[in-house]
Amino acid sequence: MTQVLKIKNNTFILHPLSVIFWEQKSMLIISDVHLGKVSHFRKFGAAVPQKAIQKNFDLMTEAIEYFKPKTICFLGDLFHSSINKEWQLFEKWIIDQNLEFILVEGNHDIISPLRYEKLGVKVVPEIQSDGFLLTHHPEDRAGFFNFSGHIHPAVRLRGAGRQTLRLPCFFQKENQMIVPAFGQFTGSHSLTPSKKDKIFAVTKEAVFEVEV
């Protein structure tokens, strides 16, 4: 189950895959994939299953097949580290996609933009379009509604008794939305909302608004 939001007369669809589809631009917004992180962990002895490497690519393909966008915008930290064997998988994956790709640079994006550009991926510091600002780090800029990543937002839900459950979330402020991390094994950071904020928690099956 998705959530549909209207912001500045534009339609945004929040999907359980932790992506946003911007309907008017036919743009799929994905943040913090952190490709290469699984291989990086395995290299240093972490017990991460080999099949986890392929998982990010399978989920990105699933999101593309669901929305059929014209453009993919990565909100930074597409690749976690310097080049490792996952870069070759990324090259093979992206060649099969007949789409426009844009990478908004994040703090982990240390691979040369020239390598991305050879694959047809445009690398930019930010995107400004129709009153919307797309960045990696959250920004508060007059006149814009900001979509960003970086934080890997999560919310802690409390049930009867002392049970708690932490879920990734889309964290919306008045003029900003922080997008949850897409990548597997990225970790998350619990945020405490104010009464003016909106929280959309994410499970494998649904995105649902949490009362704050």
Range of the domain at 135: 3-210
pLDDT at 22 over 90: yes
Over residues 102-115, the mean pLDDT reads: 88
Per-residue pLDDT at 37 = 59
Binning pLDDT at 50, 70 and 90, where does residue 82 land? low
Q: Compute how many other C-beta atoms are within 10 angstroms of the C-beta atom of residue 162.
A: 6
- pLDDT category, 154, cuts 50, 70, 90? very high
Confidence of residue 201 (pLDDT cuts 50, 70, 90): very high
pTM for the full model? 0.91
Q: Using an 8 Å Cβ cutoff, are 79 and 34 in contact?
A: yes
* DSSP label of 159: -
Cα–Cα distance for residue pair 209/212, rounded to 1 Å: 9
The CATH number covering residue 85 comes to: 3.60.21
pLDDT exceeding 70 applies to what percent of the chain? 86
pLDDT at residue 2 is higher than 60 = yes
Count of structural domains within the chain = 1
Please report which confidence band the pLDDT of residue 199 belongs to, taking 50, 70 and 90 as the band edges: very high
